[in-house]
Amino acid sequence: MSCTQEKLSKFSLDHYTFINQFFGDVIVREIIAEVYNNPKYEFEVVVDLDFGDGGSDHHILRKNNGGGEVCSGKYQEKHDNDTLCQSYSLLTYHGIKIDRDHTQRQLDMIEMYRGMLDNDEFIDILTSEIDIPNKRWRDYRSNSNGGKRFTKRMTPKQFFKLVDRTLDRWEEYGHHYFTGDGSCPTSSIQP
């Protein structure tokens, strides 16, 4: 599938709804820490007032040995739409080296998320401890200015299918959204 600006725009809302919001949820991250115990780190969320209109959550790891924090800011500086701090923190938490190549590091993120979604223990604990989708989450696909809250009309199976579809699109062309100025390479744009 070729990259188009329209597809990238739609993908950005899908990614925010089904990847960033989901895997950045504090309770989901607590479950990740339970299933994938890493005694070196604990997850932390700070408010970054310099990001976007009015600020945004920024995901970091706190070193348990008192060694400070691990922040993804050094990886995000060169790319306009790189809002993947929660993905960077999860790569580090899982012990996955952050590749120098920006596209490859996104492919590593996708593989990490697929591995987590294939983990029956993770899915079982997740679906027993919180509603999927959670009523606190918003569906940004419906309105980019805040979205509307998820309702019970979507089943967990439907939600996870949309997460998987978003991962497929991220791998196929969505990685361009987070790279450079967030546009399609000129060689892949359809006339």
pLDDT tens-digit series, residues 117-148: 999 999 999 999 999 999 889 888 876 566 77
47 beta partners: 57
Q: Which residues of the chain have pLDDT under 70?
A: 1, 47-57, 74, 77, 143-146, 151-152, 187-191
Contact by Cβ (8 Å): 59, 45: yes
The continuous run of DSSP H or E covering 70 comes out as strand 69-70
Beta strand pairing call for 138-139 and 148-149: antiparallel
Domain residue spans in the chain?
5-188
Rounded (10°) angle between helices 120-129 and 102-117: 70
pTM: predicted TM-score of the whole model, two decimal places: 0.88
